[in-house]
Each structure stands twice: as C-alpha cells, then as structure tokens.
Amino acid sequence: MSELKLVSENSNSYWAIHDRAMMAASNLKRCEIKMLDALIDVESRQVYYQMEIKDLFQYCTEMLGLSRHASYNFITVMNKSKEVPALLEAVRDGSTTVSKARKICICFCRCSGIKVCRV
C-alpha cells in the first residue's frame, strides 16, 4: 500500500510516467473514435461546403489542421465503412485503430461475399 502512495506522490517515478502514458493512449483511442464519428457527420451534412471548402480532405487538412496522412486514413475508413459497417464497429469497440483499419483490404468474392484480407 505504501508503494502505491509513493507512486502518486512522485510524478517522476517510472510507474507514474507509465500511468500517464497509458492514460494518454486511452485518450488518443477515444479521440480517434470521436474524430471518425465527427467526420461522418461532416460528410453526411457536407459541412465543408458551407465553409467554401471543395471536399472533405481539404476540410480535414486546412480547417482541422490534420496531416494529409491522418486525413487520408480517416476518410478511407469512413468511406469503406459505408460498404462494410463492421469496419467502423471494429474501430469503435477498440478491436482496431483507424490506421490499421485503413490497411485492411476488402476483397469481393462471388462465392463467399466479402472476404477481409490484411495487407
């Protein structure tokens, strides 16, 4: 019990630093889901047109300040999840991240319907 108290009192201890890193990772995952959901709403209502922006990619990079890479990841997952809702659910339930979801290739097979392949 005294060790736990020591960790909370010393913000530079290894465990305190690890705890902060774990919290940041958890927050990052939650924020990633919120961003994906927000972009789905932005796209469905075409919010970017109201701001005289030509498309969602430009909105992400110029208005939101996301990197081109992050914008591409979010938009790709958002678009593919329209065809494959399970992809969006996998991100929402924490089974995968947006970055990993973007790497998933959906292969359509006549016999078996949708086959998910990792690339």
Confidence at residue 111, expressed as pLDDT on a 0 to 100 scale: 39
Tell me the whole-structure pTM to 2 decimals. 0.77
Per-residue pLDDT tens for 22-61?
999 999 999 999 999 999 999 999 999 999 999 999 999 9
- For the chain, count helices (H), then strands (E): 7, 2
- The 10s digit of each residue's pLDDT in 50-106 is 999 999 999 999 999 999 999 999 999 999 898 889 989 999 999 999 998 888 844
Question: What are the structural domain ranges in the chain?
Answer: 2-118
C-alpha–C-alpha distance, residues 49 and 60, integer Å: 13
| Ranges 5-9, 80-84, 110-114: which has the least confidence | 110-114
